[in-house]
Amino acid sequence: MISKNTVDSYIDKIPPSPQALKETLRLLDTGELIKAAKVAQTDLALKAYLKSLVNRPVYGFAKEVSDVSQIFGILGVSGSQQAVYNYLLTLLSPKKWLLFKLNSSSFYELQARLSRRWKDILEHLKINDKNIESAITLLPASIIVSEALFCEKITDVNLLRSVKNLDLNTILFRLCRVDLFDICELIAAKWEMPEKVSKIVNCASGIKPSDDESINLLGKWMHLLLFYELSQPMFVEAGLNDFVDFQVDYVSDIYEEFSSVAGLS
């Protein structure tokens, strides 16, 4: 068993925003996109990350986009805020992944795919809320923390995977008494995100529905999105598809609609 103190220690390692990022996020929160881009431009590592993120194939740009003001203009206020949160994760991401077969490129691809499709979903649902849009960043963040926790007991994890047909989320809970979505909630608190963000991501587990129908609906869409993306060949090979046990009954009422939005039908 991994102690709560160990779990908390990994959450504590998630970096607070450096000053330039704090100012960027503050300006984005007030809708000052041009000023935010000027501040973000001064952080060379953030600038390089934004360029790498937005030029992923999922965004579909024919020509390379490199100027931060142009990138922020493309992403908009909500998308830019989400991208800055995603960048914070790169400060925590392991140089070498041990359990999951990931590297910086495939992890960035996961971030980009989740971000792009979540934005499409919210536009389809006619929801314009930068905090809800940023909620999707918590899932890659929790995967980083989960990787670190699994590596604390890597022998036990591999043994459980070999002798029992258990998804990784169940194994994580057995080892730590927290699951992927509990970790999302802890990270949301660390980043001082609104409570509704934690509730949406918890619903995305598929086993923790909310009495609030609007939150529950977003949880269903996020559950489908996460399952869909982790089922892509790149992430199946990385071992991430073992993380989420698909709750078909939970999402059956929106599955066809999701398929249409995701371009599956």
Residue 76 belongs to a domain: no
In the prediction, which pLDDT does 217 show? 96
In the prediction, which pLDDT does 218 show? 97
Residue 56 belongs to a domain: no
In the prediction, which pLDDT does 4 show? 75
Residue (of 106, 73, 81) closest to 22 by Cα position: 81
Backbone angles phi, psi at 71, to 5 degrees: -60, -45
pTM: 0.79
Residue 85 belongs to a domain: no
Q: Which tokens is 15 given?
A: 């970096």
Number of domains within the chain: 1
Residue 104 belongs to a domain: yes
Alpha helix (H) ranges present in the chain?
4-12, 19-29, 33-40, 44-54, 68-90, 104-124, 130-134, 138-152, 154-163, 168-176, 180-190, 195-203, 213-230, 233-238, 248-251, 255-261
In the prediction, which pLDDT does 157 show? 87
Residue 38 belongs to a domain: no
Q: How far, in Å, are 64, 80, 85, 121 from residue 36 at the CA level?
A: 21, 9, 14, 25
In the prediction, which pLDDT does 223 show? 95
In the prediction, which pLDDT does 17 show? 53
Residue 21 belongs to a domain: no
Q: How far, in Å, are 102, 199, 216 from residue 211 at the CA level?
A: 36, 10, 7
Helix (H) or strand (E) holding 70: helix 68-90
Cβ atoms of 115 and 82 closer than 8 Å: yes
Q: Which tokens is 111 given?
A: 């971030």
pLDDT in tens, the chain (265 residues): 677 778 777 777 665 556 788 888 889 888 899 999 999 988 888 888 888 888 888 777 778 888 899 999 988 888 888 888 888 777 778 888 988 999 988 998 998 899 889 999 999 999 988 889 889 989 998 999 999 899 888 888 888 888 777 888 888 998 889 999 999 998 888 878 889 999 999 999 999 899 999 999 999 999 999 999 999 999 999 999 888 888 999 999 999 999 998 776 5
Residue 216 belongs to a domain: yes
Residue 232 belongs to a domain: yes
In the prediction, which pLDDT does 117 show? 92
Cβ atoms of 54 and 65 closer than 8 Å: yes
In the prediction, which pLDDT does 152 show? 86
Give the residue numbers spanning the domain of 177. 4-16+96-261
